[in-house]
Structure 1
Amino acid sequence: MDTEFALDVERVRADFPILSQEVNGRPLVYLDNGATTQVPNPVLDAVVAHYRTDNANVHRGIHTLSERSTAKLEASREVVRAFLNAASADEVVFTSGTTASVNMVAYAWEARLAPGQCVVVSALEHHANFVPWQQACMRSGAEFFVCPLTAEGEVDLGALEARLAAGGVSLVAMAHVSNVLGTVVPVGEVVRLAHAHGAAVLVDAAQSVRHEPLDVREIGCDFLCFSGHKVLGPTGIGVLYGKGELLGQLAPSWYGGEMVAQVTAALTTFEELPLRFEPGTPNYVGALGLATALDYVEGVGRKAVAAREAALTAYAEERLRATKGVQVVGSPARRAGCVSFCVEGAHPFDIATLLDKLGVAVRSGSQCAQPLLDETLGIHKVVRVSPAFYNTREEIDAFGEALERVVRLVTPRG
């Protein structure tokens, strides 16, 4: 038992055999969890078992295998509903991921936009919660307002409130946690401010799904989305939550089988929620994998997972700040999930490449957040380290030692 982090890490790591391998002749230290988490054995087993025994297309079939698949899909939807504390499973739409979820809402919301109206995002946003709204505003003539940050890397709530008070804001789309700075945005306060001025709120929870409580009724948001592969699940599966009344007002953005009620040459009518937003064959096996992953997190303990990841992230930041030649990016009051940094005189790609040679996996580049890096911070590219609850303090030490070695290699000697 790792008493410092109140979690039996050895038992947990046994469920992730990928972590025990060597890379470039060294034990793997996987610290790229902000991009994709690893998948535990129970999730792998559930997916394989379904393909072996129950696989069939869902909803339309009346044979036994189809009914089994359909039952598992809808049971998975209920697991997600409970995880988010949504009022109804009808408010849970399965998508291919956060990007698809945001685009789905942006496409439908565009019909509500016009000159004189506004969509607000923050300077923290991942491209997936920035570009769809930018493009919707460009097509509709609505204003696209990027809420600035404080010097510490926090969303400037004063600037947000001022823009809301100026009128015309239709929707606020904001990340719960930044994928670059790790800034934890007080989304409950954002919702309170937005609703007070008649604006809806979409929360991008891709980076917060493991780190922060996601009670959609407590947060009060109108929409929330996340991706399965950020929370131990398979790739290609994600979730869009929407308040039932509001979600039901939106038009579908994709069309095909499964989501229609009646089709004639003159008219097509659509299914009720949530099927009207799930055209074609849904990723029912991915949904099963995601539900199993969420059950796994619940089994470990959501509070224990969040506390351990917070402690590991803080320890990684401590190691970075103690390393000569390293600049940590941002200093938010609350940081979750990741720390980004630069090395003086070295390109982030080179740092990540050399760390990989020492068995350490981190992310380098713009992190799909060019407006934040280029326009707000003037940094362009960073290296990001993002621990998960199955990482250890010893792995953070190994990363720190490897980074010190790399810095010595790339830093010009005086």
Structure 2
Amino acid sequence: MSSAVEALRKRSLTQLGPGLLMAGAAIGVSHLVQSTRAGALYGWGALVFVLLANLLKYPFYEYGHRYAAATGNNLVQAYRQMGRRYLVPFLLLNSVTAVGSFAVDAFIAAMLVQYLWLPQVSATLLSGLVLLVCWGLIAVGRYRWFERITKSCVILLSVATVAAVVMAVVAQPAFEIASATPKPSPFSWSALPFIVAFMGWMPGGLELSVWQSLWVQSDAEDSGQPWTAESASFDFNVGYSLTVILACLFLALGTMTLQGRLLADTPAEFAGQLIGMYTTSIGEWAAPVVGVCAIAAIFSTTFTVVDAFPRTLAAGLGELYSPLQKQPQLKNGLTLLISSLAMLLLVAFSAGFNLLIDTITIIAFVAAPYYAWLNIRCIQTLPDEQQPRPWLVRWATLGFLYLLGFSLVFLGVEFIQL
């Protein structure tokens, strides 16, 4: 057995590191909230956009794994090698999405905690506590311990979701009602803002590709075992497949159980609807179990975001100003700064959290073509033997044109409506 195959076997059996971290980051707002909203609003027709977003973003996420495994460097370093004029806009965009992501992920986790255990405590206050706990766990180095628990809970949530979908299908009356209820078309112009917002974080923002490269690099440094192309590809594809399957299942749950009802803006109603998607199919007894799993899933997403955004910004600032590379507290300082700004955003954004989610995810989608173009440029610098296959290159070109075209159409429609 070759060393490459042996490395793949060992990786596949003992750890699915950055790939499952990516799944943990993705299976949060995009799945629990946006996929269920898409199903509730547009039914099975929205499945087209779930598949398109996942398929056409695939090459750019894969490039993050590929580049780090091939070079031992991360994509932030690659952007810096291209020039400051490419890295600086990336960092500015990341700063904006970091604040919004911290706010949205923490608030949804807080909603679930409030609904299940602490109804008398403000969701905004609980959001701050969620961010503080995440920062504390990272600061004291409990990442590996927390990672094992959250991965287990994501698996439990996956099992519960599969069970809920199967039982909803078996419960023919509920399925027939959901199917018979007329729903607006997701292909109409009126649906465009939501569809763009939906695809912005489906399965995640494209900055996730940079996080993957940082995680692959860190994992190789910590383990002393460099990633091969085969093991990196296996790790990535397992994690990505899980995110795609669960996105489809959450859309199915929204279609069959919410039946055209919008997810509420108020914390108690939102959490009740989310848990209700499962209890409608499985039974009321499942509420505590599903609630804990859902909290674990969104909390792991929040934890991953709290780790990844400051890690990315610290790496970028270090590339721009080398003395900052020797400042180990830079990442912690950035975490506290972003958390503080996120709390201010939650206090100021009183129009409702659905509008906040849509705003942040629309920004993510409009920024996606720039990230995609950067990743295409970076992967072209690899030696010939480490280049992606021609079909993947063509796939990336198609994905870039899709993201760019959709973004331009959306911006054009919004400009006309001003």
TM value normalised by structure 2: 0.25
Judging by fraction of residues, say which structure has more strand: 1
Judging by fraction of residues, say which structure has more helix: 2
| Greater Rg by CA | 1
Query: Which gives a bigger RCO, structure 1 or 2 (Cα 8 Å, sep 6+)?
Result: 2
